Amino acid sequence: MSDIFSSQDWLRPVETDTAPSEDKRSKRLFFYAALLTGDILSLGTGFAIGRTLADVRGLPAESFGLVAAVLPIYLLLESRAYSATTLERWRSSAWIAFANLSTAFLITIFVAFLLKEVSPISRLSTGFSFVFSATLLLLTRSLIGLWSERVFRGAALSRMLIIDGVNIPLPEGLKIVSSEPVEKTETTIHPLALDRLARQLKGIDEVYVACPPSRRANWAMVLKGTSVKAQLLVPELDTIGVIGNKHFAGIASVLVSGGGLKLRERLLKRMLDLMIAAPALLFLAPLLLLVALLVKLDSRGPVLFVQTRVGKGNHLFAMYKFRSMRQSDCDSDGNVSTMRNDDRVTRIGKFIRATSIDELPQLLNIVRGDMSFVGPRPHAIGSLAGDKLFWEVDQRYHHRHVCKPGLTGLAQVRGFRGATHRREDLVNRLDADLEYVNGWSLMRDVMILFATLKVVVHRNAF
């Protein structure tokens, strides 16, 4: 995309009578927690009532060992059901929960039979327990469902429509923006323009783009790094009867971006970050204070070097490092890569760069949520690979921003760090970053963290 989009807003809200979409993620998390709590209480209370009735009638009462077996199986079967679809279609979801509870009971009884433990199980007490648990489950699901229906009004996800050069009927209940034309000949897009798009997408769960066929490939490339589920409207798909595509506002659509990590994966990754970052800040506080003092004594200027970097979803953020260069030589845009024996680097700067200590203030970025411990390294807007800007070298470059940038990453542990004098220096890192993004797992993050310990001191760290 041409530089014109780096200096002006190329997305403008469309004036409609409908309210724009709001960030509904915190509300959804609240209802997921309510559903989980309601399910657990329903099963526990149902078993307690069944046991009490059996006691009152003088019948053999089932022990709470049965609920201890049924509950984990039920939660395992239902784990993926705590989603926006559950809130939007709560009636059918309630009956699916009932089916999962029935399955959990049957599995438990079948396993007990295989273990020859069927005789101690009271059939009547178990029957009472199942009936009351299922009744309470359906009741709590219905109450929570009705509540969520009032809160979300049938749309638990925040959606946005981008209109680029076409006319379509404007649906209600979502944010709508119009775009300057994205021409077919424009193959790169300025990070400042992407940051503006990211700000429009803040709080959005799904984005749809209506544009002419000639611009779809460009929009597909742009949207892959947004960390939002994105679809292009392709009305001609209906004329050929494509099987498997979805529809939006009656128009056929195709998925071009999955939106990065799922909610459960993001939560696990965030938990890992906070479990390490918070104790690390306390443990390393004396070292951080000592380095700050040495930086201040070594040369004039602030202790921290703050630089704008590209983060998750192409959002720009302020990244912290210990200042390792003289203040007058600091490169705020990252246009000039640091070279070996670079005369801009101070005496203490050489040491903290060689040992990667200069990166430690990014623990604050991790606590703030701008970064993660593991992910693609964040780059400055003006970073060059040879004589080209990073984002001009490869069209896939912005795809790496689908997840949070990291203090370390797969590219770093493979030795791809330091100056980028050639195009290949960036492509090697990009390939590793995309491999990480497309194959994320919590265990891989842990393995990368351990591997990082081996490359803290590296020949390309200068």
Residue 185: inside a domain:
yes
If asked whether residues 232 and 276 sit together in one domain, one would say no
Nearest-angstrom CA–CA distance, 297 and 293: 6
If asked whether residues 404 and 329 sit together in one domain, one would say yes
Residue 462: inside a domain:
no
Say if residues 187 and 265 touch (Cβ distance below 8 Å). no
**Average pLDDT rounded to a whole number, residues 221-244:** 86
pLDDT tens string 279-318: 999 999 999 999 999 999 988 889 999 999 999 999 999 9
If asked whether residues 282 and 244 sit together in one domain, one would say no
- 372-374 and 406-408 as β-strands: parallel, antiparallel, unpaired? parallel
If asked whether residues 224 and 214 sit together in one domain, one would say yes
Element (H, E) at 385: strand 384-385
Last residue of a domain, one of 152, 185, 220: 152
Nearest-angstrom CA–CA distance, 336 and 383: 7
If asked whether residues 94 and 129 sit together in one domain, one would say yes
Number of other residues whose CB lies within 10 A of the CB of residue 341: 7
Say if residues 177 and 13 touch (Cβ distance below 8 Å). yes
pLDDT tens string 69-87: 888 999 988 877 888 889 9
- 11-13 and 175-179 as β-strands: parallel, antiparallel, unpaired? antiparallel
Q: Give 384's pLDDT tier (boundaries 50, 70, 90).
A: confident
Last residue of a domain, one of 200, 225, 258: 258
pLDDT tens string 345-380: 889 988 998 888 999 999 999 999 999 999 999 998
Mean pLDDT for the chain overall? 84
Residue 458: inside a domain:
no
Look at residue 335 in the predicted model and tell me its pLDDT.
58
Residue 461: inside a domain:
no
pLDDT tens string 174-222: 888 887 655 544 556 778 888 888 888 888 999 999 999 988 888 888 8
Number of domains in the chain: 3
If asked whether residues 300 and 388 sit together in one domain, one would say yes
Q: Give 400's pLDDT tier (boundaries 50, 70, 90).
A: very high
> Which range in 61-75, 171-185, 425-439, 445-459 is most confidently predicted, on average pLDDT?
425-439
Residue 204: inside a domain:
yes
Look at residue 119 in the predicted model and tell me its pLDDT.
47
Backbone φ, ψ for residue 36 (5° rounding): -60, -45
Look at residue 460 in the predicted model and tell me its pLDDT.
54
**Average pLDDT rounded to a whole number, residues 243-259:** 85
Last residue of a domain, one of 103, 123, 152: 152
Residue 459: inside a domain:
no
Helix ranges (DSSP H) in 82-224: 84-88, 90-114, 123-152, 191-200, 216-223
Residue 457: inside a domain:
no
**Average pLDDT rounded to a whole number, residues 84-97:** 91
If asked whether residues 286 and 366 sit together in one domain, one would say yes
Look at residue 144 in the predicted model and tell me its pLDDT.
95
Q: Please give the residue range of the domain that contains residue 206.
A: 3-23+158-258
Nearest-angstrom CA–CA distance, 20 and 40: 36
Look at residue 52 in the predicted model and tell me its pLDDT.
80
Look at residue 263 in the predicted model and tell me its pLDDT.
81
- 175-179 and 206-210 as β-strands: parallel, antiparallel, unpaired? unpaired
Residue 295: inside a domain:
yes
pTM of the model: 0.79
If asked whether residues 176 and 307 sit together in one domain, one would say no
If asked whether residues 179 and 147 sit together in one domain, one would say no
Q: What 8-state DSSP symbol labels residue 244?
A: S
**Average pLDDT rounded to a whole number, residues 152-156:** 86
**Average pLDDT rounded to a whole number, residues 223-243:** 87
pLDDT tens string 21-61: 677 888 999 999 999 999 999 998 988 887 787 676 665 55
If asked whether residues 204 and 140 sit together in one domain, one would say no
If asked whether residues 282 and 377 sit together in one domain, one would say yes
If asked whether residues 283 and 218 sit together in one domain, one would say no
Specify the range with the lowest mean pLDDT, choosing from 158-162, 333-337, 374-378: 333-337
